[in-house]
């Protein structure tokens, strides 16, 4: 075989793209012992986006444990990389000041600060006066406060990339510039190689680190990576006398700006609220170290506001105006992980302008994922398998990118929504949601009703950290389910029909519960990986010996589909029927009364008990009826052919009139399930959790005849827990004793004044009388037992205020689940 000079004929891993992300992945693969790696860069290292990045290395601002850990690792790596490689990264821990100009931001940042302190970030709340002392060039008299992170700072993106590449080369990685990959080659659903410079390089793994080209490269293999380039602006002023090179980075999101010293002048970077996508039709293949024509007419008002925060920038000349591309994803989270349907095809793209500060940690995560077969951090929020094909459409990317970039510096007040590219996936009963005054919000691309204002009324809601007028509607819907009956549309739930001779054995192998028993039974189960940690949380209904119905949450749709196809064989067919069936949930103590008026089927507990399922004639339509609940009451899920859904919905509505039925939205879904401590994968449980510590041991069938993935790991963990006298960490339900404060996410949980965990998800418990949540707590060397929980004094830090709390491993509402079995 003819080999191009500098190119091998094979490698274990081919990393495509020589920016900071690709270089970090290669570096960490090498440190993990995988040195048979080649990095292919179509031009020169750093070309594309890395070379013009602003170089911020800041950790503050996230309530994601994964994101915070990635940034902290990156910061540490950049500080020590020169000692290893001899190549400076330009890292300077000059500190960061984050300004809070309004009450919402101050509330948000106080919550963020408490959370990130728990994870090891040093951060201090400081006054406007203290801000001015540290960064005297900024106006601070109109600010409410700020947050100072002494360890944060800046880095030189080009030097950093070169250091990572040098470190990788020193361990045996080959870095080849001037070679473009044209195709990723696959066979039998797995990577076999790449085509580059007219030759084939055989490989087992490919990592798509091509930045703003990732979408186009991915599409050639059917991989959905809907990142889109957008204009990003900054300027550098002429020299400012007295500007200290060691001055901290200053950020004021309310003024759209970040500010730092650069070459004696001031860099003013912008994240404007109304952005512009660039080259939606495709990024030029020869674009490398180019700049974009600036639209200063559009940017003028944003620039004026940003410069007004640091008045000296208006008084000196401008040395450089810069506009270059940065790529963004539809949900402002990166696209990372193994592509669904192609073994060995990994992605690390869509960095949303935080590629530099994420690169070190993200490279480590990818290297671990590739070399071990699974990630060691929670990836449910940025796994590449979450994306939908329709998100590749040019109109979608153009509209969503223009808006999502504008949210980078927006306040993240609860209730804030994206408004672009909406109305794409509509429930079969969407018109009824609108007619009943539903406040619609996006649910994985679908339109779902958060709460209902009432027929003929227009719902109104402003984002808030506090109580809002619509809480009254929310409470009424919650109580309707607890006391009477509610009708809820959950048509966005992921639904799969799994059929064929091998369907039962396949699902029993995937499921930790026994799902291949008698027909007519719905089973709640988890799917685990080889390490016995959770990959999916769902229900499997056996309709017949070779016919199963699988239902998962909307957020897990892509991952469940990918997991099914990963293990399927020729004896099984998998059909995604999500859009073919509406899901209407009738829940509450009067639910049986309502449905009994619409069907001749015997719905008594003796004939159709808890976890029963089957096809019935209801309101003149054949529907799949499942007696199951996610709300903690007697209830039913109805899977209705989409074309019949409106008629069935209206029949239920009419039959429920005399039983107190009312439409119920997603806010009530959250509060009802939280009172019952029901888990939600991707929110309060994730791929780092073992079902034992997540409180899901009751769902495991460790003694079932059929083996299942992860069983040996769970048994080993169970034995280790027994030897230790209990689990080292455990999920608990928490409830504030004061009915006033609210819980959302990431509030720190304290036992006897010491942090032991944080709230993974929270809501308000209208029945219990105060805010409730689910938290994973750790014993700090002691087993987390019921006695340990009972002997402590419990508090939760809510935006800096410690509130007394109760904790329990059992649901605080109906702990014996008597109500669901009525």
Which parts of 40-137 fold into alpha helices (H)? 65-85, 103-118, 128-134
Query: Distance between CA 658 and CA 320 in Å, rounded?
Result: 71
Partners of 269 in beta bridges = 234, 258
Average pLDDT of span 419-429: 96
Cα dihedral sign, 725-729-735-738: positive
pLDDT at residue 353 greater than cutoff 90: yes
Domain boundaries, the chain: 13-214+226-328
Whether 11 contacts 344, CB under 8 Å:
no
Average pLDDT of span 174-199: 97
User: Which one of 3.30.565.10, 3.30.9.10, 3.40.50.720, 3.30.70.100 gives the CATH number of domain 13-214+226-328?
Assistant: 3.30.9.10
pLDDT tens digits for range 500-524: 999 999 999 999 999 999 999 999 9
Query: Distance between CA 822 and CA 812 in Å, rounded?
Result: 19
Residue 548: helix, strand or coil by DSSP? strand
pLDDT at 296: 85
Cα dihedral sign, 396-450-468-775: negative
Reported as a pLDDT band with limits 50, 70 and 90, residue 718 is very high
At 614, phi and psi to the nearest 5?
Answer: 175, 165
pLDDT at residue 700 greater than cutoff 50: yes
Cβ neighbours around 368 below 10 Å, total: 17
Whether 355 contacts 50, CB under 8 Å:
yes
Query: Distance between CA 288 and CA 360 in Å, rounded?
Result: 23
pLDDT tens digits for range 552-591: 999 999 999 999 999 999 999 999 999 999 999 999 999 9
pLDDT tens digits for range 133-178: 999 999 999 999 999 999 999 999 999 999 999 999 999 999 999 9
pLDDT tens digits for range 31-71: 999 999 999 999 999 999 999 999 999 999 999 999 999 99
pLDDT at 87: 97
Joined together, the tokens standing for residue 631 give 């709300």
Query: Distance between CA 152 and CA 138 in Å, rounded?
Result: 19
If you write DSSP's letter for every residue of 425-439 in order, what string do you get? B--TTHHHHHHTTEE
Average pLDDT of span 258-280: 96
Query: Distance between CA 645 and CA 496 in Å, rounded?
Result: 18
């Amino acid at each position: 075989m003819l080999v191009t000079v500098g190119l091998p004929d094979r490698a274990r891993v081919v990393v495509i793209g020589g920016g900071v992300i690709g270089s970090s992945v290669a570096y960490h693969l090498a440190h993990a012992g995988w040195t048979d790696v080649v990095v292919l860069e179509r031009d020169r290292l750093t070309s594309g986006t890395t070379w013009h990045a602003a170089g911020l290395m800041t950790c503050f601002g996230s309530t994601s444990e994964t994101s915070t850990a990635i940034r902290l690792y990156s910061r540490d790596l950049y500080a020590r990389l020169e000692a290893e490689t001899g190549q400076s990264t330009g890292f300077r821990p000059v500190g960061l000041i984050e300004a809070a100009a309004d009450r919402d931001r101050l509330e948000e940042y106080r919550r963020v600060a408490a959370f990130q302190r728990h994870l090891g970030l040093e951060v201090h709340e400081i006054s406007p006066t203290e801000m001015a002392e540290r960064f005297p060039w900024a106006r601070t008299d109109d600010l409410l406060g700020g947050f100072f992170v002494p360890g944060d700072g800046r880095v030189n993106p080009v030097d950093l990339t070169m250091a990572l590449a040098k470190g990788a080369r020193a361990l045996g990685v080959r870095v080849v510039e001037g070679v473009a990959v044209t195709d990723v080659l696959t066979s039998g659903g797995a990577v076999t190689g790449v085509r580059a410079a007219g030759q084939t390089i055989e490989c087992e793994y490919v990592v798509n680190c091509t930045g703003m080209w990732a979408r186009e490269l991915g599409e050639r293999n059917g991989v959905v990576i809907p990142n889109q380039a957008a204009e990003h602006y900054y300027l550098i002023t002429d020299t400012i006398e007295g500007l200290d090179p060691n001055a901290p980075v200053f950020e004021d999101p309310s003024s759209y700006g970040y500010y730092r010293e650069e070459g004696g002048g001031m860099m003013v970077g912008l994240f404007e609220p109304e952005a512009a996508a660039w080259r939606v039709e495709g990024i030029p293949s020869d674009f490398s170290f180019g700049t974009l024509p600036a639209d200063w007419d559009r940017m003028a008002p944003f620039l004026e506001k940003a410069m007004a925060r640091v008045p000296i920038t208006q008084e000196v000349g401008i040395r450089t105006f810069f506009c270059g591309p940065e790529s963004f994803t539809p949900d402002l989270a990166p696209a990372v992980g193994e592509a669904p349907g192609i073994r060995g095809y990994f992605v690390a793209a869509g960095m949303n302008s935080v590629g530099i500060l994420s690169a070190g940690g993200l490279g480590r995560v990818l290297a671990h994922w590739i070399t071990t077969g699974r990630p060691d951090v929670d990836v449910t929020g940025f796994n590449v398998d979450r994306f939908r094909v329709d998100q590749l459409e040019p109109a979608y990317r153009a509209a969503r990118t223009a808006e999502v970039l504008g949210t980078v510096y927006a306040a993240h007040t609860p209730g804030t929504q994206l408004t672009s590219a909406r109305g794409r996936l509509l429930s079969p009963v969407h018109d009824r949601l609108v007619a009943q005054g539903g406040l619609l919000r996006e649910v994985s691309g679908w339109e779902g009703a958060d709460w209902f204002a009432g027929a003929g009324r227009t719902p109104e809601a402003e984002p808030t950290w506090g109580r809002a007028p619509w809480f009254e509607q929310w409470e009424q819907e919650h109580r309707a389910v607890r006391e009477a009956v509610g009708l809820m549309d959950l048509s966005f739930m992921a639904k799969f029909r799994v059929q064929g001779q091998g369907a039962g054995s396949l699902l029993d192998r995937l499921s930790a519960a026994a799902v291949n028993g008698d027909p007519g039974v719905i089973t709640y189960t988890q799917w685990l990986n080889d390490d016995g940690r959770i990959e999916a949380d769902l229900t499997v209904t056996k309709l017949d010996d070779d016919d199963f119905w699988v239902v998962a949450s909307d957020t897990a749709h892509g991952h469940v589909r990918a997991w099914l196809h990963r293990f399927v064989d020729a004896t099984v067919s998998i059909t995604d029927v999500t859009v073919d069936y509406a899901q209407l949930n009738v829940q509450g103590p009067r639910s049986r009364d309502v449905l009994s008026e619409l069907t001749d089927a015997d719905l008594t507990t003796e004939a159709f008990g808890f976890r029963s399922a089957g096809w019935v004639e209801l309101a003149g339509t054949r529907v799949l009826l499942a007696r199951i609940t996610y709300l903690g009451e007697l209830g039913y899920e109805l899977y209705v052919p989409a074309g019949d859904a409106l008629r069935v919905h209206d029949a239920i509505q009419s039959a429920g009139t005399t039983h107190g039925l009312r439409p119920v939205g997603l806010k009530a879904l959250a509060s009802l399930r939280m009172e019952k401590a029901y888990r939600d994968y991707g929110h309060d449980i994730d791929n780092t959790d073992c079902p034992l510590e997540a409180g899901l041991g009751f769902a495991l069938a460790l003694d079932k005849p059929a083996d299942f993935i992860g069983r040996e790991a769970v048994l080993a963990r169970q034995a280790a827990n027994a030897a230790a006298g209990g689990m080292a960490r455990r999920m608990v339900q928490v409830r504030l004793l004061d009915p006033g404060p609210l819980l959302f996410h990431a509030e720190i949980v304290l036992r006897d004044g010491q942090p032991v965990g944080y709230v993974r998800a929270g809501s308000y418990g209208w029945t219990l009388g105060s805010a409730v949540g689910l938290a994973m707590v750790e014993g700090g060397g002691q087993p987390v037992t019921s006695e340990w929980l009972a002997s402590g004094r419990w508090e939760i830090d809510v935006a800096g205020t410690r509130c007394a709390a109760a904790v329990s491993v059992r649901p605080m509402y109906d702990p014996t689940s008597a109500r669901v079995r009525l």
